[in-house]
Amino acid sequence: MIQASLTELAAALGARKISSVELTTLFLDRIDALNPTLNAFITVDHDGALAAARAADARLAAGTAGPLTGIPIAHKDVFCTEGVRTTCASKMLENFVSPYDAHVVGQLKAAGAVMLGKTNMDEFAMGSSNENTFFGAARNPWDTTRVTGGSSGGSAVAVAARLSPMATGTDTGGSVRQPAALTGVTGIKPSYGVVSRYGMIAYASSLDQGGAFGRSAEDCALLLTAMAGFDPRDSTSLEREREDYSRALNQPLAGLRIGLPKEFFADGMDDDVRAAIDAALAHYRQLGATTVEVSLPNAKLAIPAYYVIAPAEASSNLSRFDGVRYGHRAADYTDLADMYGKSRAEGFGAEVKRRILVGTYVLSHGYYDAYYLQAQKLRRLIAEDFQRAFEHCDVIAGPTSPTVAWTLGEKNDDPVQMYLQDIYTIAVNLAGLPGLSLPCGTGAGDLPVGLQLIGNYFDEAHLLNVAHGFQQGTDWHRRTPAVG
Active-site residue numbers? 76, 151, 175
Nearest 5°: CA angle at 456, between 454 and 276?
15
119, 74 contact by CB (below 8 A): yes
Give the CB-side neighbour count of residue 252, counting CA atoms within 13 A. 6
Helix 6-14 with 217-227: angle, nearest 10 deg: 70
How do strand 186-189 and strand 210-214 relate by DSSP bridges? antiparallel
Q: Which uninterrupted H or E stretch holds 396?
A: strand 395-399
404, 182 contact by CB (below 8 A): yes
DSSP at 165: S
CA dist 48 → 28, 117, 307, 395, 457 (Å): 11, 9, 39, 41, 37
Q: What are phi and psi of 457, to 5 degrees?
A: -55, 130
DSSP assignment of 25-81? HHHHHHHHHHHHHH--EEEE-HHHHHHHHHHHHHHHHHT---TTTT-EEEEETTB-B
CA dist 296 → 246, 385, 468, 478 (Å): 30, 5, 26, 33
170: closest CA among 160, 180, 161, 162?
180
Which residues, at least 6 apart from 462, have a Cβ–Cβ distance to it below 8 Å? 248, 394, 395, 455
Rounded CA-CA distance 194/111 in Å is: 18
Rounded CA-CA distance 49/51 in Å is: 5
> In a 3-state reduction of DSSP, which class is residue 254?
coil
**Positions of E strands within 171-214:** 186-189, 210-214
Intra-chain end-to-end CA distance of the chain, in Å: 15
Which residues, at least 6 apart from 248, have a Cβ–Cβ distance to it below 8 Å? 461, 462, 464, 465
Q: Which uninterrupted H or E stretch holds 292?
A: strand 290-294
Rounded CA-CA distance 24/18 in Å is: 10
